[in-house]
Amino acid sequence: MPGEVWRDGGEEWQKYILLLLKRKYGPEFVEIPDEDRGDYGLEGFSRDGCAYQCYAAENPLSAKELRERQRDKITRDIKKFIDNEDGLLEILGPTKISHWILVVPYWESKELLKHAEHKAKKIRESNLPHVADSFFINIEVEDYFAVEREQILGVGLEKLRIDPDNITQDECYDFIDDNNELVENLERKIELLSPWSSLENKEKLKTKFINYYIDGQNLLDKLNSKYPEFYYRAERTKNDRELFLETTSMISSCKPADIFNKTMSEYTEELSESLKGLENNTINRLVYEAMADWLLRCPLDFPECEAYI
C-alpha cells in the first residue's frame, strides 16, 4: 500500500500538502483559493507545468470504498479542469499543464491508475489550450515530498503523528517467554517502584511496560523506514541520555519512584526539543519505550534499600 493512513481530516491534509508545495517550489507555486467560485479542479500549480489536487478520504474505509472515492474525486475534478478552460487560461498565463497530480495519504488499487489514464487520454485528445500534449495524471503520497517534509518537520513548522501497529496480547506473552532475564529485571524494579501495590497491580504494570516497549520498537521501525532523520535523532538522544543514566540512578538519594519520574520528565523535555516535528502523542510513545527499555535492561536501576520497600 503506497502511503500511510491520515487521521486528521481532509482540511488538515490540504493545509499540510500546500505547505509542502510552497516549500518545494517557493514563488514558482501558485495557490488557487477555492472560496471564490470553486477551485477549477486543482489546489494550485507550479510553473513547471505540474498541477496539484489534494484529497484525504474519511476513515475507516474498505479497499473498495477507498478506490471508489478516489476514483470519483479524479472524475469530478478533471471535469472542473476541462469545463473551466477560460478561467484557467487567465490564471495559468503561458504555463501549460503537463501533469495533474492527486496527492492522497494512501491508495491501494491499480484500478485507480487505469481510471487516471483513461481520463488523461480523454484530455490529450481534446487539445485543450491550457494543457500540454504530453499530459498525464499522477497519484502521489507524502513520500513525493520527502525532502520538503524533512525540512518543515525538522524546524517544527508542522507536527507529525505516527501511530505504530496495534499490539496483540500474544506479542506480549511471546516477549515474556523469550526474555526471562529482562522480565526478571523488570519485576525486581517494579517491586522497588511500587512496593505497596497488590500482586495484581504489579502484574498489570509489568504488562504495560512490556507493551510500551514493543509499541515503541514498532514506532522506531516506522521512523527508520520512513523518517530516517527522526530515527537518527531519537536514537542519538536516547543514547546520550543512557550514557550517564546508570551512574546517576546509582548515586541518587531519592526514592525509586522519584528517580523514575525525574528521569522521565527530563527525557521528555530532551526528546521534545530534539524532535520538534513530532506530536506529543508520538513523543510520549518514544519516552515510554525508552523508560521500559531502561527498566528491562539495567541503565535505569535503583538502590535496593529496605527503607524504600
Chain segment 274-303, per-residue pLDDT in tens = 888 888 999 999 999 999 999 999 888 886
Average pLDDT over all residues of the chain: 89
Q: Which residue has the higher pLDDT, 113 or 251?
A: 113
- 164: which DSSP letter? P
What pLDDT does residue 175 have? Answer: 94
> Which residue, among 8, 11, 100, 16, has the nearest Cα to 50 in the 3D structure?
100
- What is the CATH code of the structural domain delimited by 169-308? 1.20.1440
Using left for φ > 0, alpha for ψ between -120 and 50, and beta otherwise, residue 127 falls in left
Chain segment 44-76, per-residue pLDDT in tens = 999 999 999 999 998 888 889 999 999 999 999
Topology annotation, domain 10-154: Trna Endonuclease; Chain: A, domain 1 (3.40.1350)
Cα separation, 209 vs 218, in Å, equals 14
Q: Look up the pTM and report it.
A: 0.62
Q: Spell out the domain ranges in the chain.
A: 10-154, 169-308
What pLDDT does residue 155 have? Answer: 64
N- to C-terminal Cα separation, the chain: 52
Q: Which three cell numbers stand for residue 36?
A: 471564490
Chain segment 228-280, per-residue pLDDT in tens = 778 888 998 999 999 888 888 778 778 889 999 999 999 999 999 888 888 89
Cα separation, 138 vs 147, in Å, equals 19
Chain segment 189-235, per-residue pLDDT in tens = 999 999 888 999 999 999 999 999 999 999 999 888 878 778 888 99
List the Cα angle 123/125/128 in 5-degree steps: 60
